[in-house]
Amino acid sequence: MKPQVLLIGGTDSSCGAGITADFEVISELGGDCLSCVTSVTAQNNHSFLKSHAIPASMIEEQLNSFQEQKIDAVKIGMLPTSESVEVVVEFIQKFSLQNIVIDPVFRSSSEGVLSSESAIEAVQKKLLRLCSLVTPNLSEAIHLTGLNYCHFDDFPKFANQFFLMGSNAVLIKGGHLDDQNCKDFFATLDGNSVTFEHKRVRGGTAIRGTGCRLASAIVYHLARSVEMESAIELGVNFLQEYIQRKLVQVN
């Protein structure tokens, strides 16, 4: 039986990021998906035009429709409002869901606002502790922790702050740092830490939806019972290949 992943997040009309990018990754890797759309956004590679938050009652109905389903893992992306966070929290608790990865996206690359401040606060207070892994990039780590660091050597301080907020494990993505190599820092509450380092692909940061795709690839491997560190390694390798593939298509 294929692993089944529940995707919770927003649509991106250009399909560069968001829940359609997640679907693409899970399908390519060989998994099945369920989807719960939290917001509809109109955007392209250059600009963010508009977003429309799906009412919490409709998010709840979508989640209710999965009651009979086997859910091996959950990927959470855009949560536009605090109410949307609340219904997701209730659903996770009610069904004691496991293997939950949250990619805490608040802004698109084109600076579109994806989550309200109250939604971000609800994620910090109620959702992080229920997740197996949170995957912030540098600016999301700064926003969520309130700490203002910009060097890879400081990433453990972000991780400790995430643990104080209730996180169980964190992958802080260093792709936007000014280093020659890309370095992602993984740490768990019980004291393990690993750095995933790989060669920077020139032009790679211009590709949209890389955060969504990395989290989706990790979730897919968790859904098929791969343990966390190996799932992340597989996810990081998947993303490197994806970026290289995409650059060949563009150039």
Site for ligand PLP in 5-24 (CB under 6 A): 9-10, 12, 17-18
Cβ 212 to ligand PLP, closest distance in Å? 4
How many CB atoms sit inside 10 A of residue 242's CB?
21
Q: What is the DSSP letter of 7?
A: E
92 Cβ contact list (under 8 Å, min separation 6):
74, 100, 130
Closest CB to ligand PLP among 109 and 188? 109
Residue among 89 and 102 whose Cβ is closer to ligand PLP = 102
User: Between residues 18 and 175, which has the closer beta carbon with respect to ligand PLP?
Assistant: 18
Q: Which of 208, 213, 221, 246 binds ligand PLP (CB under 6 A)?
A: 208
In the block, which residue shows the tokens 């060949």? 248
Nearest to 32, CA basis, from 22, 47, 40: 22
Q: Supply the minimum distance, in Å, between the C-beta of residue 174 and ligand PLP.
A: 16
Residue 213 found at the interface with ligand PLP (CB under 6 A)? no
Q: Is 78 in the site for ligand PLP (CB under 6 A)?
A: yes
Residue of 82, 84, 108, 216 that binds ligand PLP (CB under 6 A) = 108
69-93 as b/e, with b when 16 or more CB fall inside 10 Å? eebbbbbbbbbbbbbbbbbbbebbe
> By CB under 6 A, is residue 137 in contact with ligand PLP?
no
For the chain, helix, strand, coil in percent to 5 are 45, 25, 35
d(CA 225, CA 220): 9
**Contact footprint for ligand PLP (CB under 6 A):** 9-10, 12, 17-18, 41, 77-78, 103, 105, 108-109, 114, 208-209, 211-212
